[in-house]
Structure 1
Amino acid sequence: MMDFQQNAEADEKSPDRIDAVIVGAGFAGLYMLHRLREQHISVRVIEAGSGIGGTWFWNRYPGARCDIESMEYSYSFSDELRQEWHWTDLYASQPEILRYLNYVADKFNLRRDIQLETRVIAATFDDDLERWKIQTDRGDRLSAKFCIMATGCLSVPKFPNIKGLDSFKGNLYHTGRWPHEDVRFTGCRVAIIGTGSSGIQSIPVIAEQATHVFVFQQTPNFSIPSRNMPLKQEYERWWKSNYVEHRRRMRESPIGMLIPGKRNWSAFSVTPEERQKEYEVQWQIGGYKFICSFNDIMINKESNDTAADFVRAKIRTVIKDPAVVEALLPYHYPFGAKRLCVDTHYFETFNRDNVTLVDLRNG
């Protein structure tokens, strides 16, 4: 390998000189590789994992599933790809999304430009050469015109700073670094720390296996039922026959998803009874799009309060224990101010005899 301290002429002759380096082989990295190749740009993708997939390679915890509909959470650059791939569920599971990404990598012959089990440890821009000098933990030294970070926002797991964690004698797992082999909790007492999206997805599944589950919650979250189901063939046909139009509407929607109808009404442009009826309709449909029931939920506090009150009322109808209900109700931030969660029987899980909620705000 040539040393980057050598002069520009030597750098021109370096065998590691390429047009672009992409860091990360998840959804964004794979797509960028494909697009740059189409423009005849030489590319190398550097990926830390032993396989492609990014978020969906690392996050293999029980219940891991996308909270955006499968037909929307997929590539749009190839009509052939979108017509020939068939999703199983309305909301795809982690294993299926990973299969999809591997299918894409094979279909478009992407693997030959992907270097696995490698981390970028330095990237410095040389003003004189107008090139990036990139170094990996395997000793690679690359010179590139472009350095594209496709690392996403979930590439570094956050471990809790808990006293004694390093001396814990039991099995310790993190949802963002879940083992590739199957983990069974039968006969185990399990503590789950955190009730964000991954906690909300994994808690119901783990509770079905474990002897007892203790859920440690700092901040309660708003969550909408997904109403997940096998993807209906007629829905898939409708989607694929109108694909270009659906994608156009997604690009123009406030949340980047396909919103049914124009949704051009305010929460206070209708009567309270009509508003409750609309919320009920969207609740029964389920999913993240509930946040677009009215067009001013995210810009008007009074409108936001009506949505928050509706969701809290729904949570109250599910959970039997009044003390548990109050602990799970989110009050201290607006509805949608934090990423809205989508669940499958999350709140119902707290009615199980083998599940205990530990509210960290009270002690």
Structure 2
Amino acid sequence: MPADPPTNQSPTLDALIVGAGFSGIYHLHQLRKRGFSVRIFEAGSDLGGAWHWNCYPGARTDSDFYIYQFAMEDLYKGFTGWTENFPPREEVLAYLHYVVNTLDLLQDMRFNTPVVSAQFDVSTDRWAVKTSTGLTVHARFLILSTGYASIPHIPPIKGLDTFQGICHHTARFPQDGTCDTLFTNKRVGVIGTGASGVQIVQSAGPVAAHLTVFQRTPQFALPMRQQPVSIFTQQEMMSGPDPLYPIILQRRFQTLTGTYYENTPKLLKDVSREERVLFFEDLWARGGFHTYLGTYMDVRTDAKASQMVYAFWRSKTLKRISDPRMQEKLMPETPCVPIGVHRFPSLEQTYYDVFNQPNVHLVDMNETPIMEVTPGGVRTADGVEHALDVLVLATGFGKGYSGIAAIDIRVGPEGVPMATKWAAGDGVKTYLGLTSAGYPNLFFSCGPGGPTEVCNGPTCIEIQGAWIVSCIEHMRKNKYNRIEATLEAEAEWSNVVQEKISHTLWGQAPKTAPDDAAPARDTIFVGGVMGYDKICRECAENGYRGFVFSGDSEVM
């Protein structure tokens, strides 16, 4: 169907998508080519989703270029813009712009249009979606592609608003290009050592006059082993009788985390010391996440196995730090929690080397916590005021559903907002990580209950997106106007998610994460991408078990 022009006259659509990142772009293309009228509303000034907002110096992927894209032949065959194995933000954005231009999607995207509320009308089976610009759109389906890392977590530090220098969260750096020289010859402070903190430290360390890193939990960062990528290499992967590109891209759907490699089908406890050491050395040489995602099957389920991987990593990484006290701060002999439990490991290039520089200082917030931010810097519990020109909040994001919860979503004017439902005693529950009982005709990807936070992003998006699009097609074919997950199906799925977690070290660790920006671990499906895809497919093949459909004479 041709789409109505996005005017202020309450246009009617088959589907409205919120968010113009990988997920929103995928849904827009797949629905539009099937004849549905569909639009994207994006809060930012351009496409890219998280890659639009995260414009801090040094931002790059932690996935290899050949898996961080869509598995569509007409797309991967035409793009050779990667110059590094782990691409920087600029190349990811160039790829997404290439996708949008190739598929001619820009005409159906509206930027600077934050969605603030969505109310479902039970009499018409449509969502009335309102934006902060005053625009209202009525859509049969609402697809939330807001991502799991979209609302920055700003820590409630006393005096933060009094700081007279430059202060940015990593997801809210200025978009005007000035951030490239922001750290040069400045006194820089970084609060947080998660993935973005690691990248900020690597960027600021070599150019800052002085760098102060405020650390609470030591990071388990693996060597990225960055390599240049030539156009010839990319072309070679697309050519020949058995090209690698389609093989690798399809392989992603067959693995635990949506990459192209898998755990070895062995238990660490069953192998000899010699086999273990040689295997660890091989994984280490490969770089990236191989040491964590390609290792023995019991590393994420057995504390002793996890500790052995940590000890190997520590023995390798210690050599890069010259100060014994700094060694113990950055890589203590006993980790605070098993690797990957409170946060997924990061990849680094020069992170640990930076701490050998005389202009770099590490503050252990377990010993000397931050008491307040002053106009001139940060004061810690020992009375020291760390003078700063620039303060970076590498403090992560709200829970994985915060982007969804930020929108006032309800059924009818007196309905319960979805955020209120999820904040209640039963917590966040979804069905298949795609829908929520009580909210008809609403889908989300990269949300709670799915594998997103432990999966390569584009892999998860294509699995979830294909399911959502097929479901909407099924409804059109059968003249259904409404779909809703049952409470029973939602409760059953919640049990499945928690049962899977209970078999991992995540389920055995304390429920309280080290900070309130950490993922809500009991809402992440850890049963593997292939297992998740199989469950979703079986749901559809069995008549969309767990859903209730209804329809009338009006069809799409």
Same fold (TM over 0.5): yes
Does the 8 A contact of 2:15 with 2:139 survive in 1? yes
- Which runs of structure 2 are paired with 1:277-288 in the superposition (5 Å)? 277-288=278-289
Does the 8 A contact of 2:10 with 2:135 survive in 1? no
- Structure 2 distance, partners of 1:84, 1:263, is 34
Does the 8 A contact of 2:15 with 2:38 survive in 1? yes
Tell me which moved more, 302-311 or 218-227.
302-311
Tell me which moved more, 266-275 or 318-327.
266-275
Tell me which moved more, 311-320 or 233-242.
233-242
Question: 2:79: which partner in 1?
Answer: 85
Tell me which moved more, 130-139 or 271-280.
271-280
Question: 1:56: which partner in 2?
Answer: 51
Q: Which amino acid aligns with 1:205?
A: S
Deviations 1:231-267 (Å, cap 9, x if unpaired)?
256753564313333233211111110117x722222
- Structure 2 distance, partners of 1:235, 1:266, is 36
- Structure 2 distance, partners of 1:301, 1:249, is 29
Q: Structure 2: 5+ residue runs without aligned partners? A: 1-8, 369-556
SS for the counterpart of 1:190 is strand
Instruction: Determine if the alignment matches structure 1 residue 266 to structure 2 residue 267.
Output: yes
Q: Which amino acid aligns with 2:118?
A: A
Deviations 1:159-208 (Å, cap 9, x if unpaired)?
22211111111111221011122222222111111000001011011111
- Structure 2 distance, partners of 1:195, 1:39, is 44
Does the 8 A contact of 1:71 with 1:239 survive in 2? no
Measured after TM superposition, the shift of residue 15 of structure 1 is 5.3
Question: 1:41: which partner in 2?
Answer: 36
- Structure 1 distance, partners of 2:278, 2:355, is 27
Pairs aligned (count): 348
Question: 1:70: which partner in 2?
Answer: 65
Does the 8 A contact of 2:66 with 2:249 survive in 1? no
Q: Which amino acid aligns with 1:248?
A: Q
- The counterpart of 2:339, out of the listed 319, 335, 339, is 335
Q: Which amino acid aligns with 1:196?
A: G
- Structure 1 distance, partners of 2:244, 2:306, is 33
What is the RMSD of the two structures over their aligned residues, measured on CA atoms?
A: 1.6
Tell me which moved more, 188-197 or 155-164.
155-164
Question: 1:209: which partner in 2?
Answer: 207
Instruction: Determine if the alignment matches structure 1 residue 357 to structure 2 residue 362.
Output: yes
Measured after TM superposition, the shift of residue 83 of structure 1 is 1.3
Measured after TM superposition, the shift of residue 269 of structure 1 is 2.9
Question: 1:124: which partner in 2?
Answer: 119
- Structure 2 distance, partners of 1:226, 1:235, is 19
- Structure 2 distance, partners of 1:54, 1:205, is 22
Q: Which amino acid aligns with 1:67?
A: D
Does the 8 A contact of 2:10 with 2:138 survive in 1? no
- Which runs of structure 2 are paired with 1:150-161 in the superposition (5 Å)? 150-161=145-156
Q: Which amino acid aligns with 1:312?
A: R
Name the % identity.
36
Does the 8 A contact of 2:17 with 2:143 survive in 1? yes
SS for the counterpart of 2:300 is coil
Deviations 1:132-177 (Å, cap 9, x if unpaired)?
1111111111111100000001211112221111111111122101
Q: Which amino acid aligns with 1:333?
A: V
- The counterpart of 1:347, out of the listed 348, 352, 364, is 352
Question: 2:554: which partner in 1?
Answer: none
Q: Which amino acid aligns with 2:338?
A: P
Does the 8 A contact of 1:19 with 1:41 survive in 2? yes
Note closer, same or farther for the CA distance 1:109–1:233 as it changes in structure 2 (3 Å cut): closer
Question: 1:294: which partner in 2?
Answer: 296
Does the 8 A contact of 2:213 with 2:361 survive in 1? yes
